[in-house]
Amino acid sequence: MRGLIRSFGYAFRGIFYTLKHERNMRIHFVCMIYMYSFLLMADFFEITRTQFAIIFLANALVVSLELVNTAVERTVDLASTEWTDNGRAAKDTAAGAVLVSAIFAVLTGIMIMWQPKAFSALYVYFKEHILYFVLFLLSLVVAFIFIFKGFPQIKKKSSDRADKEKK
């Protein structure tokens, strides 16, 4: 049982590593948060369980391939510090897989979520609840900072480092 729990820990560590180091993963993550927020927190969009499952699968595909792409990039970098045609081909091909899946996810989302009535209702909602609209705009600022800057770096006190070195 410990081995199973440990393997989940390794998997989550890989996901967080990719979120920390890969801007594109942060873009996918932010887009999914906004999309699922609008789908689950209000009744603006009318989607079936099947449509929701299709959206979920499309998102899972993008995130999975982004994780594989990161693994391929790191493996190529580990295998050789010099530029090679094969290394470039491996990285480009993995990136291409992410691109194809991202295009698929966007098109799937558009096909399912293109509902003019929902957008009209959303407009009216934000017009009637200005505070929520302002909070939404502020969240966009935070999202852009997260996408382009990543996680905030927490600096440890020098005494914390000294304590770790003693152990």
Amino acid at 68: V
Q: Which of 46, 66, 82, 165 is catalytic?
A: 66
- Annotation marks residue 82 as catalytic: no
Extract the tokens encoding 32.
């999914």
In the DSSP assignment, the letter for residue 1 is: -
Distance (Å) of CA 104 to CA 92, 109, 144, 147, 158 = 18, 8, 23, 21, 48
DSSP calls for 118-163: HHHHHHHHHHH-HHHHHHHHHHHHHHHHHHHH-SPPPPPPHHHHHH
Torsional class of 150: left (φ above 0), alpha (ψ -120 to 50), beta (otherwise): left
Q: Annotated catalytic sites, by residue?
A: 66
